[in-house]
Amino acid sequence: MSPVLYQPFPLIGSRRGQLWRYAPEYRRPRHFHNEPELNLVMAGSGSFAAGKVRFEVEAGDLLCWPPGQDHELLQASADFDLFVVGLAAEFSERVLREQNALALAGPTCVRLDPITLSRLRSLCRFPSLGLEPAVIEAHVATFWREAHQRRLAARDRHPVGRRALISLLQHHDLDRLQLARSARGAQSEVSRQFHEHTGLTLTQYRTRLRLLAFIRCVDAGSTLLSAAMQAGFGSYSQCHRTFSTAFGCTPRKFFGSQLRIDMSDAFATRPGRA
């Protein structure tokens, strides 16, 4: 598995939602962030990686990356066309309301019917230049709501793993036994389905969510020690070790230098052509 970077979704200014058209020269390396993301394949074919899972995609496929889920475009055909949509986590929760965690934990990749694909394609081709941010946000929110409604209607191959993911998105401090109870399955079955669904172990994903919570708390003004406790780490030393392993630097260096910006702005070489 490739190294994983922390790269926030590129929202412009104070916007809470953004829609981008994929450009090969701006392809990102394997990364994760706090903002949930959707990818809509318009044309061509390609392959994505998430954790240890690989997805082969083609026109009409819709992919979802919940907060903390690493993802990367590995290969793309010469005619590959993709739209990338992301929302700030709190805005996504507002748009999806009580279905937020349920929608984000739905099937990772679904094939859209021609009518739905045509509808979402028209939403993607929205001329946003010169419009007020609130108008753009409202348009992106419409796409977000309709796309997730389609995902909720799709067949779920990992119902126990999905329920565990919902629980973690809502309460990332749950232990394995508590997750098994909330998912209504045996611990071994929950772990297996979760791994098949996300490509990550329960421990890996819980750690990602805690790291994201830690970053949010520090950005909000908390001290490193206070942020570590709020994020669910047992001690600051545990947080320090986990953070340093995941990011390749200490928290103090991450928050106090150019490194964070360099990490966020990193681009990868073009993916291999299929």
User: Across the 274 residues of the chain, what is the mean pLDDT of every consecutive 10-residue run?
Assistant: 86 92 94 98 97 96 97 97 97 95 94 95 84 90 96 90 95 92 95 95 96 98 98 96 95 94 88 64
pLDDT tens profile 83-93: 999 999 999 99
pLDDT digits over 178-193, tens only?
999 999 999 999 999 9
Give the strand pairing for 72-76 and 45-50. Answer: antiparallel
Stated pTM of the model: 0.93
Q: Is the dihedral of CA 149, 155, 158, 160 positive or negative?
A: positive
Q: Could you tell me which of 100, 80, 79 has the C-alpha nearest to residue 91?
A: 100
Dist CA 32 CA 8 (whole Å): 7
The pLDDT of residue 126? 84
pLDDT at res. 201: 96
Residue 25: other Cβ atoms inside 10 A: 7
Give the model's pLDDT for residue 38. Answer: 98
**What pLDDT sits at residue 273?**
64
Position of tokens 């919570």? Answer: 213
Q: How far apart are CA 217 and CA 62, in angstroms?
A: 32
Q: pLDDT at position 118, please?
A: 95
